[in-house]
Amino acid sequence: MGNGIEVLRNWTKQSFGLSRRGSFAVALSACLLLALPSAWYLHRVLTQFPVSFEYKELGLWMKKNIPNVDQETVASRQPAVSFYSGARILKLPYVDRFEDLLTFLDHQQAKYFVVSEGLDHPFVDTYRLLFGRNDRPSSGSG
C-alpha cells in the first residue's frame, strides 16, 4: 500500500501541480476514503454479529468434551459450530410449528440443537420453555 500512496502522490503532484506536502495529503486522503467502506463493514460485522466467536468456542468445546462428536449431527443456523466441532451440520428449516421442527430434528437424528441467546425467530418463546425460562421479555412499557 505504501507504494500505491507514492504513485498516487506523484500523479496528483503532476496532474494538479500541488506541492510535495499537498500531493501527499491528497493521496493519503484518497486512501483513507477508499478504506472507509471496509472499516464500516468490519464495524458492522463485529457489532451486529458478535456471537460468531461464541459459535466457534462452542464448536471447540464440543470437540474437546464430547466423545466421537465428529460422528454426530448438530442442528444450527450457524455452520461455525459444526465446522469447529467436526460434526455434521444440519441447517434448520423454516417451519410454522415447533412440533414440526422437533419431528425434523428427530428424523435427521440430530443429537445437538444450538440455540443462541440473540435468537430472533417465531419460536423464541418455545425455545425458552425448553430451558425452563418461561418468563417473557418486557415490552419496555412500564
Express each pLDDT in 73-103 by its tens digit: 999 888 888 889 999 999 888 887 778 888 8
Tens-place pLDDT, residues 36-50? 888 887 777 666 665
User: Is 106 in the same domain as 67?
Assistant: yes
Sheet-wide strand order for 112-113: 88-91, 73-76, 112-113
Q: Tell me which DSSP letter residue 77 carries.
A: S
User: Is 24 in the same domain as 67?
Assistant: no
Residue 69 near residue 86, CB atoms below 8 Å? yes
User: Is 35 in the same domain as 71?
Assistant: no
Within a domain: residue 136?
no
Rounded Cα distance, 120 and 141, in Å: 20
Residue 96 has a pLDDT of: 78
User: Is 36 in the same domain as 56?
Assistant: no
User: Is 6 in the same domain as 66?
Assistant: no
Angle between helices 2-16 and 20-48 (to 10 degrees): 130
Listed residue (107, 109, 101, 112) closest to 75, CA to CA? 112
How many separate domains does the chain show?
Answer: 2
User: Is 29 in the same domain as 81?
Assistant: no
Tens-place pLDDT, residues 3-12? 776 777 777 7
Give residue 117's Cα distance to chain centre: 14
Rounded Cα distance, 138 and 7, in Å: 58
User: Is 11 in the same domain as 38?
Assistant: yes
Report residue 116 as a C-alpha cell.
Answer: 443462541
User: Is 9 in the same domain as 43?
Assistant: yes
Residue 75 near residue 37, CB atoms below 8 Å? no
Within a domain: residue 82?
yes
Residue 84 near residue 56, CB atoms below 8 Å? yes
User: Is 64 in the same domain as 126?
Assistant: yes
Higher per-residue pLDDT: 141 or 130: 130
Range of the domain at 20: 2-48
Q: List alpha helices for 49-135, DSSP H.
A: 52-65, 80-85, 98-107, 124-130
